[in-house]
């Protein structure tokens, strides 16, 4: 049976991703000075204005306004005509400390209070988190989202390297992959929309995006005479970034994860320190799922972890291998739960999440980047 599946990605200049990068840059700045900082920062960007809100509890002092302006400059918004200028935009900062009621459960978990655990932090919120892996790509990620990410990243590269200097920071990509019996066999449709200067010839833009972006990214064996291409299909994309649409932290959660190919718990990642299980447990769930596939225990694996606020141990651990498992799923769960500490402290310690590593996660997906700690594959068979 054949089927089509589509995933999208966005460039670093997309207004939502601009906000994500500002939030993660603020988080990293605090963690660089205070590894125990509690941070939950939201960024809103609109025409000529950036608003920083949320909660920070830390002994560190950080120049937030400078971080905001540096990120905007780094992405390439240098002119008020693009909707925001790093030199002249208005930066409003409205931060408070973490709620003392939440801190009660994070600082000392319920199990410690009841004598079950000696010392451990509780989860910073209730919630459910998913991790996923499959054997479609070398990164053990679904093919549609990986191709969409690589196209979006390439759009930024050709702009910043001057290959297509007339491009502007905002952009989106989308890839539809055809599957046969759950195996990707070809790319059916490619959509690329890139912001550009007003005087650019559209034929030139389309030809160069085909040559320098699409053909550079998508392997030729996945393209054929029936592949459809939609490059700037409206014919004009001059107004973009925060001028074209407001931006908000955490509004690209499907782009950040698996492109809709796997389930999502609902919580965003950017701007949150690792005591927030929305982030840390999602990273651990990806680590567990990737190791199940990487160790040959299944061809596909989805892991769900769930937590209660103030409680250290997960409420539940669920696995679905979609019938591709080589040993019973119950045994896989036993292997994972016996070898890995799934409390917030255990996850933070094992993955090293108190380090300022979060800027590198913001753009082009939080998963599938080999240098991130939750992407490592260990030998579960030896551990067993």
Sign of the CA dihedral running 188, 207, 240, 26: positive
* Domain assignments of the chain as residue spans, ordered by start: 2-9+143-239, 127-136+275-383
Report phi then psi at 370, rounded to 5.
-65, -20
DSSP 249: T
User: Do 2-9+143-239 and 127-136+275-383 agree at the fold level?
Assistant: yes
Neighbours of 350 (CB within 10 A): 15
Fold classification of 2-9+143-239 (topology level): GMP Synthetase; Chain A, domain 3 (3.30.300)
Residue 334's contacts (CB-CB under 8 Å, 6 or more residues apart) are none
Residue 127 predicted with pLDDT over 60: yes
Residue 103 predicted with pLDDT over 60: no
DSSP 272: B
Strand partners, 39: 56
Strand partners, 191: 174, 230
Mean pLDDT of 30-58: 96
Residue 89 predicted with pLDDT over 50: yes
Spatial separation of the C-alpha atoms in residues 261 and 253, rounded to whole Å: 12
Please give the mean pLDDT across all residues of the chain. Answer: 93
Largest CA distance in the chain: 70
What is the share, in percent, of the chain residues with pLDDT greater than 90?
85
Mean pLDDT of 321-335: 96
For residue 104, the model assigns a pLDDT of 53
Residue 346 predicted with pLDDT over 70: yes
- Radius of gyration in angstroms for the set of CA atoms belonging to the chain, rounded to a whole number: 22
For residue 384, the model assigns a pLDDT of 46
- The model's pLDDT over 265-317, given as tens digits with 9 standing for 90+, comes to 989 999 999 999 999 999 999 999 999 999 999 999 999 999 999 889 999 99
Sign of the CA dihedral running 243, 244, 250, 252: negative
For residue 82, the model assigns a pLDDT of 77
Domain 127-136+275-383 CATH class label: alpha beta
If one compares 69 and 382, the residue with the highest pLDDT of the two is: 69
Tokens in use for 169? 């920071």
- The model's pLDDT over 130-186, given as tens digits with 9 standing for 90+, comes to 999 999 999 999 999 999 999 999 999 999 999 999 999 999 999 999 999 999 999
- The model's pLDDT over 199-257, given as tens digits with 9 standing for 90+, comes to 999 999 999 999 999 999 999 999 999 999 999 999 999 998 898 899 999 999 999 99
**pTM of this prediction?**
0.94
For residue 97, the model assigns a pLDDT of 86
Residue 20 predicted with pLDDT over 60: yes
Residue 110 predicted with pLDDT over 70: no
Spatial separation of the C-alpha atoms in residues 18 and 170, rounded to whole Å: 9
For residue 100, the model assigns a pLDDT of 61
Residue 60 predicted with pLDDT over 80: yes
- The model's pLDDT over 249-269, given as tens digits with 9 standing for 90+, comes to 999 999 999 999 999 998 999
Containing 359, the helix (H) or strand (E) segment is helix 359-362
Strand 183-196 relative to strand 228-231: parallel, antiparallel, unpaired? parallel
Neighbours of 92 (CB within 10 A): 12
């Amino acid at each position: 049976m054949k089927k089509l599946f589509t995933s999208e990605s966005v460039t670093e200049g997309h207004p939502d991703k601009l906000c994500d990068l500002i939030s993660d840059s603020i988080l990293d700045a605090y963690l660089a000075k205070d590894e125990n900082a509690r941070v939950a920062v939201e960024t809103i960007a609109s025409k000529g204005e950036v608003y920083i809100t949320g909660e920070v509890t830390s002994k560190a002092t950080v120049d937030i306004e400078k971080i905001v302006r540096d990120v905007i400059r780094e992405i390439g918004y240098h002119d008020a005509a693009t909707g925001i200028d790093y030199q002249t935009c208005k930066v409003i900062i409205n931060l408070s400390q973490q709620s003392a009621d939440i801190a009660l459960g994070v600082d000392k978990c319920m199990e410690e209070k009841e004598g079950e655990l000696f010392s451990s932090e509780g989860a910073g919120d209730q919630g459910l988190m998913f991790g996923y892996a499959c054997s479609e790509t070398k990164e053990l990620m679904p093919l549609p989202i990986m191709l969409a990410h690589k196209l979006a990243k390439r759009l930024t590269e050709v702009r910043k390297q001057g290959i297509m200097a007339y491009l502007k920071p905002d952009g989106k990509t989308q890839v539809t992959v055809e599957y046969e019996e759950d195996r990707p066999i070809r790319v059916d449709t490619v959509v690329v929309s890139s912001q550009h200067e007003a005087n650019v010839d559209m034929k030139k833009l389309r030809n160069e995006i085909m040559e320098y972006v699409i053909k550079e990214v998508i392997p030729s064996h996945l393209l054929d005479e029936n592949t459809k291409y939609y490059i700037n299909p409206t014919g004009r994309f001059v107004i973009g970034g925060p001028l074209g649409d407001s931006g908000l932290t955490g509004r690209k959660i499907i782009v950040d994860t698996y492109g809709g190919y796997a389930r999502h718990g609902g919580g965003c990642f950017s701007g949150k320190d690792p005591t927030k299980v929305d982030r840390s447990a999602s990273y651990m769930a990806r680590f567990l799922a990737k190791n199940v596939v990487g160790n040959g225990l299944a061809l596909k694996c989805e892991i769900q972890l769930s937590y209660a606020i103030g409680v250290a141990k997960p409420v539940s651990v669920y696995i679905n291998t979609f019938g591709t498992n080589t040993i019973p799923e119950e045994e896989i769960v036993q292997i994972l739960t016996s070898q890995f500490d799934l409390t917030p402290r255990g996850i933070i310690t094992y993955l090293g999440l108190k380090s300022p590593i979060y800027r590198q996660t913001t753009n082009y997906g939080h998963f599938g980047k080999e240098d991130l700690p939750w992407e490592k594959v260990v030998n579960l068979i030896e551990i067993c």
